[in-house]
A and B are shown apart, each in its own frame.
Chain A
Amino acid sequence: MRDSSVAFIGIGAMGTGIAKSLLRQGFDLRVFDTDPNRGRAIGHLENVVVANSAAEAAEGADIAAAILPLPESLREAVSGSHGLIHGLEAGSLFVQMSSVDSATTLEIAACVKEIDVEMVDSPVLRGPDEAERGDLAVLVAGDPASVDRARPFHEAISHKIIYAGELGQASSLKAINNTLNLTIKAAAAEALSAGAASGHQLDAMLEVFEQTAAWNRHLDLVKAAGDAYEGFEVTMRSELTIKDMRHGVLQAARVHSPSPVLAAAYNSLCQAANLIPAESLEDPFLKSLSQASGCKIE
């Protein structure tokens, strides 16, 4: 057991699983979420204290971690009036796991550096189920000594740690990864829709695609669903999916790396997401193509 705690900010879909993995590995947590219900949902567990603010969560913590959906939420949690910087001590480590653009990452790192807190840029890969099992992959970037210091934390929540370089580069890698992921999904949706419009059954298409480099994880999940197929699996609401793709496409523009296919997928997602209610987990790509063409995949 360690003799100091981790200030953990953000008990959402990912945060819950990550927090539980940390607890299993013997970390004490002081948690905070702007939604009091979320804090309460794990507050009953052993070695968890629910704080009333990020600053309060930071009291007595030598490590702080945050996993929040949007740059604004992260800024508020770090430098808002009751943010982490009002509670963290000099020499603490901040493990920043929110998926934000690299500019925001550098901004936050500079902010905590002012109070002598080191930050590692540490977004995570895979989803809520893997978070619960301690089976994420973590990307990490920053000063090597800080990365080392974050290792026990990372090992508690993941099976793989991937070092990406300087601060900001893990954020870039996350954005690029997610953008490619969704581009593959968009392409798969187009192929299935074109095939269905040509009269092909889903089974026949999957059998053929599986033989070639057209195969991908999204189709794996469709195949696994079998008769229970209801479209692509969606684990993140589209607002956040769009945010990740936007970061990827903006990164491409910023560094002057023309990426027309990734950009087309981003545009396609933005259009399609209008068809889906905000909180829904229905796949926008397939819905949009089906509406445009009248095709039905079965």
Chain B
Amino acid sequence: MADEKIAFVGIGIMGSGMLGNVLKAGYDVTAFDLNQEALDAAVDAGATAATSAAEAAANADLVHTVVPGPPELEAAVFGNNGIAAGIRPGSVFIQHATVDPETVISVADRLKKQGVDTIDAPLLRTPGHAASGNLGFPIGAEPDVYARAKDVLATMSDTIYETGAVGTGSALKLVNNMLNITILCGAMEAITLGTKSGLKLGTMIDAFYTTPARALHFEMMPWVFENRDFSPGFYTTLGHKDIRLAVKHALNMRVPTSVSAAAYAMMAQAEAAGLGRETYSSVLKLYEAAAEVTVELERDKLFEDDNV
């Protein structure tokens, strides 16, 4: 049903890719972003520019927000000229930020008072997947509400997981990211420790990859280790925020996640050390600094031919 009118608030790395796929599918899209360049790019791609989030939401049946986390979501919806100021009763609000369940439930409850239903749909996978329309969405929503946005969401994704009520999509996303980031920190500690013990990185990778010590980060980001290329990727600042929210949520559920909490502390320190806009594997630099060592690859490629 490309006759639903769509609004997009937040057109960053992920949002721009998503918006592109919605436009390609023939939908009428009104966009808003605080960043003028991002807004101009959206217009070039075929969207109509709004002068505020409220204005973007005012003419839309489905309103999407792609912003980093809880404070940005709160501001986008309930800030000055925010979505709530313009969105019509009977519309559906679809939030794609990575936030804690409490935040999205609170937003949903307040919007409900305005006659607006919410879909909790955080994003899985990378900017490349956003651009190609291959995201994964954990969906927390009432089935009849999800049904209204199903087609639009399908233009941006190839996998949907209906997880239950609003809040459950966010919980699953947080837990996933908590595990991702904790494994990363463990792996970076291991290679720093190995280097300090006189081992070479290639040797360590060869060993890890024959056992469950195989951390996928190595094969997903070989350039980090081959070229010391720490360009994002997934920003450290987002990784920090996600694992902080995740550990907090786990505590609310009475699950003592002590290993993940140690990883959270490292990500907080990484951001404080100025690594916020680098890829999250830049946490390696903190370990290297503490051990006074640099992890070096003794060959051109992280993986030899027979490995991966």
Contacts and interface: CB of A to CB of B under 8 A. Distances in A.
Interface of A: 102, 125-126, 137, 139, 160, 162-166, 169, 172-174, 176-181, 183-188, 190-191, 193-195, 197-200, 204-205, 207-209, 211-218, 248, 251-252, 255-265, 267-268, 289, 292-295
Given A251-B197, A261-B266, A262-B189, A126 B172 contact: no
Interface in B284-299: 287, 290-293
Contact of A264 (B125, B187, B259): B259
A208 B207 contact: no
Contacts of A211: 124-125, 136, 159
Given A176-B194, A199-B168, A181 B213 contact: yes
B199 A173 contact: yes
Contacts of B101: 198
Contacts of B161: 204, 207-208
A286 B259 CA distance: 13
Contacts of B212: 181, 184-185, 216-218
Contacts of A213: 180, 183-184, 215-217, 220
A209 B179 contact: yes
B255 A295 contact: yes
26 contacts: A126-B210, A165-B198, A169-B199, A172-B197, A172-B198, A174-B207, A177-B207, A187-B259, A190-B257, A191-B179, A191-B260, A194-B250, A195-B172, A197-B250, A198-B175, A205-B175, A211-B159, A214-B177, A216-B214, A260-B265, A261-B185, A264-B259, A265-B186, A265-B259, A267-B258, A289-B256
Given A163-B203, A169-B199, A187-B186, A180 B250 contact: no
Nearest to A123: B207
Contact of A258 (B172, B178, B180, B287): B287
Nearest to B256: A292
Given A204-B161, A213-B220, A255-B197, A173 B204 contact: yes
Contact of A194 (B136, B175, B200, B287): B175
B208 interface: yes
Contacts of B184: 213
B262 A260 contact: yes
Interface string B147-188: 000000000000101011000100111011111101111110
A225 B253 CA distance: 27
Nearest to B101: A198
B179 A187 contact: yes
A139 B207 contact: yes
A170 B225 CA distance: 22
A204 B138 CA distance: 9
B97 interface: no
From B173, B183, B261, name the one whose CB has the most chain A CB atoms within 10 angstroms: B183
A160 B211 CA distance: 12
Contacts of A137: 207, 210-211
A190 B180 CA distance: 12
A267 B198 CA distance: 26
A285 B265 CA distance: 21
Nearest to A102: B197
A209 B254 CA distance: 22
Given A165-B198, A193-B250, 16 more contacts: A166-B198, A176-B193, A176-B204, A177-B190, A181-B211, A184-B213, A191-B176, A191-B178, A198-B171, A198-B175, A198-B249, A200-B163, A204-B172, A209-B176, A261-B185, A261-B189
A264 B168 CA distance: 28
B112 interface: no
A267 to B, nearest CB: 7
A34 to B, nearest CB: 28
B263 interface: yes
Contacts of A262: 186, 189-190, 193
A63 to B, nearest CB: 24
Contacts of B277: none
Interface string B267-307: 00000000000000000000100111100000000000000
A212 B193 CA distance: 25
A174 B197 CA distance: 12
Nearest to B286: A258
Contacts of A177: 190, 204, 207-208, 211, 213
B203 A214 contact: no
A257 B287 contact: yes
B196 interface: yes
Contacts of B142: none
Nearest to B192: A257
B246 interface: yes
Nearest to A288: B256
Nearest to B264: A261
A169 to B, nearest CB: 6
Contact of B199 (A172, A208, A261): A172
